[in-house]
């Protein structure tokens, strides 16, 4: 751990507001970027900003849980961000589903469009469930858990290039399958 990072951790552990300010200044952009990617398509800018604020508040409250032997402060903060964003995403999607069940139509969406969207989602899930391993795990880890290519390669004991190639082939296969079914 660098001296600067150690000072930052010490400031947070001593509950100095300047420590939180420095943390946000140093890692705000990277945390915001991760949260924005995870919430893409599920939330608005306000949801992203609220989640980022929650991440820094969690870091402030849980700084004593940080163990420098397990990773850098940046890594720990990004793990907090990832799980906070995934929780927020689930809540937002659950809220959207509940609204649609309550009969609150999305602006401009007809019943036919809703049915087609539901059918497309069910079709995609059926295709994912039919995938053999490790492709199914690869797909879930990348597109549902938003893991990086590096994390997936380590978790599945594959090279980064192998993961990239498999993801490329999976995307191509999905496009072909979905195109075939729509042509029928």
In three-state form (DSSP H/G/I as H, E/B as E, the rest C), the secondary structure along 47-113 is HHHHHHHHHHHHHHHHHHHCCCCCCCHHHHHHHHHHHHHHHHHHHHHHHHHHHHHCCCCCCCCCHHH
| DSSP assignment letter at 147 | -
> What pTM value is reported for the model?
0.55
- Give a yes or no: residue 49 inside a domain: yes
Residue 102's pLDDT is 47
Mean pLDDT on 71-79? 92
Please give the Cα distance from 17 to 12 (Å, whole number): 8
Mean pLDDT on 118-144? 80
pLDDT at 182 over 90: no
What is the average pLDDT value for the chain, to the nearest integer?
83
Residue 26: which CATH number? 1.10.1740.10
Among 70, 96, 122, the domain boundary falls at 96
The pair of structure tokens assigned to 7 is: 């000072």
Question: Are the C-beta atoms of 51 and 58 separated by less than 8 Å?
Answer: no
Among 75, 96, 117, the domain boundary falls at 96
Question: Are the C-beta atoms of 123 and 98 separated by less than 8 Å?
Answer: no
Residue 139 and residue 79 in one domain = no
Confidence of residue 1 (pLDDT cuts 50, 70, 90): low
Residue 85 and residue 121 in one domain = no
Please give the Cα distance from 85 to 78 (Å, whole number): 10
Residue 124 and residue 178 in one domain = yes
- Overall domain count for the chain: 2
Among 73, 96, 119, the domain boundary falls at 96
Residue 100's pLDDT is 52
Please give the Cα distance from 73 to 31 (Å, whole number): 12
């Amino acid at each position: 751990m660098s001296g600067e990072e150690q000072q930052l951790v010490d400031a947070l552990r001593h509950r100095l507001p300047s420590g939180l300010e420095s943390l946000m200044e140093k890692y705000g952009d990277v945390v915001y970027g991760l949260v924005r990617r995870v919430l893409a398509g599920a939330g608005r800018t306000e949801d992203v900003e609220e989640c980022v604020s929650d991440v820094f508040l969690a870091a402030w409250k849980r700084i004593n849980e940080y163990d420098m032997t397990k990773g850098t402060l940046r890594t720990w903060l990004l793990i907090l961000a990832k799980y906070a964003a995934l929780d927020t995403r689930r809540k937002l999607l659950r809220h959207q589903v509940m609204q649609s069940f309550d009969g609150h139509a999305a602006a401009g969406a007809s019943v036919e469009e809703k049915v087609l969207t539901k059918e497309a989602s069910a079709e995609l899930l059926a295709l994912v469930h039919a995938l053999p391993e490790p492709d199914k795990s690869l797909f879930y880890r990348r597109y549902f858990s938003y893991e990086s290519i590096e994390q997936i390669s380590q978790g599945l004991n594959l090279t980064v290039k192998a993961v990239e190639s498999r993801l490329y082939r999976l995307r191509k296969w999905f496009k072909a399958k979905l195109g075939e079914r729509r042509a029928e």
